[in-house]
Amino acid sequence: MALTGVQIFKLLPKTNCKKCGFPTCLAFAMKLAQGGVELSACPDVSEEAKQTLGEASAPPIRAFTLGTGEKAVKIGGETVLFRHEKKFVNPCALAVNIKDDLGEEEIADIAAEVANSEIDRVGQKLRIDAISIEYASGDSAKYEAVVKLAAEKAPEAAIILNCKDAAAVEAAVKAIAGRKPLIYCATDATAGEMANIAKANSVPLAACADGPEALSALTEKIKALGVEDIVLDSGAKTAKEIIEDNTRIRRSALKKNFKPLGYPVINFVLRDDPVYEASIASVAIAKYASIVILSSIEKWKNLALFTLRQNLYTDPQVPMQVEQKVYDIGEASADSPLMITTNFSLTYFIVSGEIENSKVPSRLAVMDCEGLSVLTAWAAGKFTASKIAQFIKESGVESRVSNKELILPGQVAILSGSLEDKLEGWKVTVGPREANAIPTFLKGRAA
Amino acid sequence: MAYVVPKESFNGKVLSLDFGKGDKAVSIGGENTLPFLSFEGEVPNRPLVACEIQDCPPDDWPDTVKNVYKDVSADPVTWAGYCRDELKAKAIALRLVSTHPDRGDRSAEDAAKTIKDVLAAVDVPLIILGSNHIEKDADVLVAAAGAASGYNCIIGKAQEGNYKTIVAAALAHNHKLIAMSELDINLAKQLNILITQMGFDKEKLITDPMCSGLGYGLEYTYSVMERIRLAGLAQNDPTMQPPILGDVGMYVWKVKETVASEPDVPDWGSLENRSIAWETITATSMLLAGTNLLIMRHPAAIGNVEKTIDELM
């Protein structure tokens, strides 16, 4: 059972040494009780306290790292069922499945696609995180060679050994031990052998059983054999099985503190049609998967799934922001209109999208207002005449326009007079109140 | 440790409503659980996808979706017939775009005639949408509600600035009504209260908390919808129990990802697949957040979403 902060505090050294990063042992204990920190952050904790606290203080869903190096991804560690309650913590890893009986060239190509999958979106670098290599050939020497090849061609991706044959897995794990591959998977029949391999090589192990109940029995068995980093597969294949099983698993872990299901979840969403597969992948991404295995990673599909993952894992309390600068939209020239807005990403996307729709090449000055929208930023004193004037002067845009005219969002028309006073030599024009009126506005001016 | 299925049972229930006439009438809503969790509750009706058409050629739609309808979109009756016959649409959403002052400014009488023509020719349940111009919609939707009298349509959208006249028209002609507010659960609740205070039955109401496209604020819509569902089910708040609308197509088919060609943005891959995936994923996400009724544009995206619903039911 979970212990309260005060119960935990009694077991701590009570030295207030601050080595854990908290000002007092009590503060650390309180955070520990909420699952926001791990006991290992306290260097002086006694063995006795470790034992007592071990189970109780562990976060409800275990978090660990998939792969190694800079691009390794942390999975698990989730604390809520709904993203409005609190941020979803660790974005799910996206992986592509390759069969080992494809040609060598094709395997190398797919691995290279993974290595080159990175896309920048709103300042975040997003990519395919892992490769799952499926043992389809029945030839363990071939499997080992393919695993090595894929690992070499995608040097930073995490590797998932999709293989139920213990001997083949063991050889492959040893071949790329430094990459810390995830073994997928142990079943009830192979739990002993697979757990030994995972433990001996310090790699995570996926447990696969039919439904959450059988799965919980299997993870207890694996844990008893000394494997801590476990991934769950309830056998869910259809969208319904995915949403229902994943909901049951996450609720068990978070609401019942049921440890045997307190691990990250893996879902295979393989479908023949890639657009349809993207739809089923969205079900897994939104509904609690920590690893989603795809059958293909076309660029358009990656972009769409990365975007969904980024949207859903955004902190609901911290607005997404874009970089402060003057953006060119279309083939902007010195004669193009210059508009200004704030750096709330949604505001930027909507305004820049409508400018694009107008097909009138324009410049959009995006001002840092800590991610607030226009009206909110104005109300909070961050989008004022003097701050806008300072931003425009410092941006250097003046030297790039032939006509010193600034178009202000209609919502803050009230600023136009004082802004004209502060921006000497500039004309301030009031633009539309709503972004959807921008195309008409810009086309009207261009005519 | 013994596993116990973590079921939740709610006191509240999503209201169900039907629209359309005769054997083509369709029902939405009625579930007493979070989306698709049949292991703990009833999900009597599958979410419904309506095919979007408009009263003028879709010049502002990106080519990928515009071209699908190029031979039929000159006339709304032909277009609606195509949706019924070729796409097997279960419902059609007719947007009266050309009534917008900036898009042709056609009169309310013109709109009423269009509605009458479509209803006379095509017996698929109809959703009648204004052009999202607060003042003009108040005129147009009143005329449209009258023209569709007796057809049990959904009309919308009633917003804070125009709901009074539109509610009165829906009431007089016995239609269902969409109440739209802008991405805020409190505004959605307030508008539903104002509308029911006029004597409009909450069982005829649909909540549109405002949709947004993938990558363009989807997370806001997603969370507002989830919160509305939780308020209706867990807190049994009757004002938060009407079915939810996801007006997906119009928010998707304007973003850069559905417009930019592959030569322009080589890193984004095929425009055709990308834009269809964009509408598909936006719609699927809305379903997971609690949407009961979707309005969509591309037949391939609709096909993918229908297949996803098949899997989810």
A66 strand-pairing partners: A73
Phi, psi of A164 (to 5 degrees): -95, 0
> What's at B130, amino acid-wise?
G
Q: Return the SS3 of B8.
A: coil
Give the closest of A251, A275, A350 to B280, CB-based: A275
- Please state, as a whole number, how many other Cβ atoms lie within 10 Å of the Cβ of residue B165: 15
Q: Is A371 on the interface with B (CB under 8 A)?
A: no
Which residues contact residue A40 at a Cβ distance below 8 angstroms, ignoring those fewer than 6 apart?
none
Q: Report CB contact under 8 Å: A239, B308.
A: yes
B126 strand-pairing partners: B92
Return the structure tokens found at B270. Answer: 């095929």
Any domain includes B11: no
- Report pLDDT digits (tens) over B40-68: 999 999 999 999 999 999 998 999 999 99
Residues of A in contact with B269 (CB under 8 A): 298-303
- Give the domain range for residue B238: 17-312
B78 vs B96: CA distance, rounded Å: 15
A6 vs A24: CA distance, rounded Å: 13
User: Which of A282, A352, A247 lies closest to B218 in space, CA to CA?
Assistant: A282
Q: Report CB contact under 8 Å: B304, A251.
A: no
Return the structure tokens found at A202. Answer: 């310090």
Write the burial class of residue B87 (CB in 10 Å: 0-12 exposed, 13-18 middle, 19+ buried): middle
Give the closest of B219, B220, B273 to A300, CB-based: B273
Tell me the nearest-neighbour CA distance from A168 into chain B, angstroms. 33
Q: Is A274 on the interface with B (CB under 8 A)?
A: yes
Q: Are strands B48-54 and B92-95 parallel, antiparallel or unpaired?
A: parallel
Which residues contact residue B75 at a Cβ distance below 8 angstroms, ignoring those fewer than 6 apart?
none
**Polymer length in residues for chain B:** 313
Residues of B in contact with A217 (CB under 8 A): 3
Q: Report CB contact under 8 Å: A357, B4.
A: no
Q: Is A434 on the interface with B (CB under 8 A)?
A: no
Which residue of chain B has the CA closest to A116?
Answer: B267
DSSP structural state of residue B24: G
Any domain includes B66: yes
Tell me the nearest-neighbour CA distance from B223 into chain A, angstroms. 6
B252 vs A353: CA distance, rounded Å: 11
Any domain includes B99: yes
Q: Return the SS3 of B41.
A: coil
Quick one: CA dihedral A62, A64, A66, A72, positive or negative?
A: positive
- Please state, as a whole number, how many other Cβ atoms lie within 10 Å of the Cβ of residue B12: 18
What is the SS3 string spanning chain A? Answer: CCCCHHHHHHHCCCCCCCCCCCCCHHHHHHHHHCCCCCHHHCCCCCHHHHHHHHHHHCCCCCEEEECCCCCCEEEECCCCCCCCCCCCCCCCEEEEEEECCCCHHHHHHHHHHHHCCCEEECCEEECCCEEEEECCCCCHHHHHHHHHHHHHHCCCCEEEEECCCHHHHHHHHHHCHHHCCEEEEECCCCHHHHHHHHHHHCCCEEEECCHHHHHHHHHHHHHHCCCCCEEEECCCCCHHHHHHHHHHHHHHHHHCCCHHHCCCEEEECCCCCHHHHHHHHHHHHHCCCCEEEECCCCHHHHHHHHHHHHHHCCCCCCCCECCCEEEEECCCCCCCCEEEEECEHHHHHHHHHHHHHHCCCEEEEEECCCCCCHHHHHHCCCCCHHHHHHHHHHHCHHHHCCCCEEEECHHHHHHHHHHHHHCCCCEEEECCCCHHHHHHHHHHHHC
Please check whether residue A68 is in contact with residue A180, taking contact to mean a CB–CB distance below 8 angstroms: yes
- CATH number for the domain spanning B111: value is 3.20.20.20
Q: Is A257 on the interface with B (CB under 8 A)?
A: no
Any domain includes B159: yes
Any domain includes B266: yes
Residues of A in contact with B285 (CB under 8 A): 282, 286, 308, 312
Total number of domains in chain B: 1
Task: Give the residue from A270, A298, A307 with the most B CB atoms within 10 Å of its CB, the best one to mutate.
Answer: A307
Which residue of chain A has the CA closest to B36?
Answer: A240
- B-facing residues of A in 172-191 (CB < 8 A) are none
| CA angle, residues A312, A181, A260, in degrees to nearest 5 | 65
Q: Report CB contact under 8 Å: B281, A304.
A: yes
What pLDDT does A1 receive?
46
The mean pLDDT of B243-255, rounded to a whole number, is 96
Task: Give the residue from B265, B278, B281 with the most A CB atoms within 10 Å of its CB, the best one to mutate.
Answer: B281
- Report pLDDT digits (tens) over B204-241: 999 999 999 999 899 999 999 999 999 999 999 999 99
Any domain includes B267: yes
Give the closest of A248, A298, A308 to B281, CB-based: A308
Any domain includes B262: yes
Mean pLDDT by 10 residues, chain A (447 residues): 78 89 89 79 85 74 95 95 95 98 96 95 90 97 97 97 97 96 98 97 98 97 97 98 98 94 98 98 98 98 98 88 90 93 89 87 94 91 94 92 94 93 94 90 87
Please check whether residue A291 is in contact with residue B256, taking contact to mean a CB–CB distance below 8 angstroms: no
Give the closest of A258, A299, A349 to B268, CB-based: A299
B213 vs A311: CA distance, rounded Å: 11
- Return the number of CB contacts < 8 Å for A and B: 167
Query: How far is the CA of A440 from the CAs of A405, A436, B36, B58, B80, in angstroms?
Result: 18, 8, 42, 17, 29
User: In the block, which residue shows the tokens 């996926």?
Assistant: A206
Q: Is A359 on the interface with B (CB under 8 A)?
A: no
> What's at A180, amino acid-wise?
K
Percent of chain B with pLDDT over 90: 95
> What's at A276, amino acid-wise?
Y
Q: Return the SS3 of B232.
A: helix
What is the SS3 string spanning B154-203? Answer: EEEEECCCCHHHHHHHHHHCCCEEEEECCCCHHHHHHHHHHHHHCCCCHH
| Position B264 pLDDT exceeds 90 | no
Q: Are strands B48-54 and A362-367 parallel, antiparallel or unpaired?
A: unpaired
What pLDDT does A2 receive?
62
Which residue of chain A has the CA closest to B227?
Answer: A84
Please list, residue by residue across B119-146, b when 16 or more beta carbons sit within 10 angstroms of its beta carbon and e when fewer do.
Answer: beebebbbbbbbbbbeebbbbbbbbbbe
Residues of A in contact with B226 (CB under 8 A): 82-84
Q: Report CB contact under 8 Å: B312, A282.
A: no
What pLDDT does A56 receive?
65
Q: Is A238 on the interface with B (CB under 8 A)?
A: yes
Tell me the nearest-neighbour CA distance from A172 into chain B, angstroms. 33
User: Which of A303, A342, A8 lies closest to A126 in space, CA to CA?
Assistant: A303
Does the complex come out with an ipTM higher than 0.90? yes
- Report pLDDT digits (tens) over B194-213: 999 999 999 999 999 999 99
| CA angle, residues A24, A25, A28, in degrees to nearest 5 | 90
Q: Report CB contact under 8 Å: A240, B312.
A: yes
Residues of A in contact with B304 (CB under 8 A): 273, 275-276, 279
Give the closest of A279, A314, A437 to B305, CB-based: A279
Any domain includes B12: no
Please check whether residue A275 is in contact with residue B185, taking contact to mean a CB–CB distance below 8 angstroms: no
Phi, psi of A412 (to 5 degrees): -115, 40
B247 strand-pairing partners: B295
pTM, whole model, 2 decimals?
0.90
Tell me the nearest-neighbour CA distance from B234 into chain A, angstroms. 14
Q: Is A124 on the interface with B (CB under 8 A)?
A: no
What pLDDT does A3 receive?
75
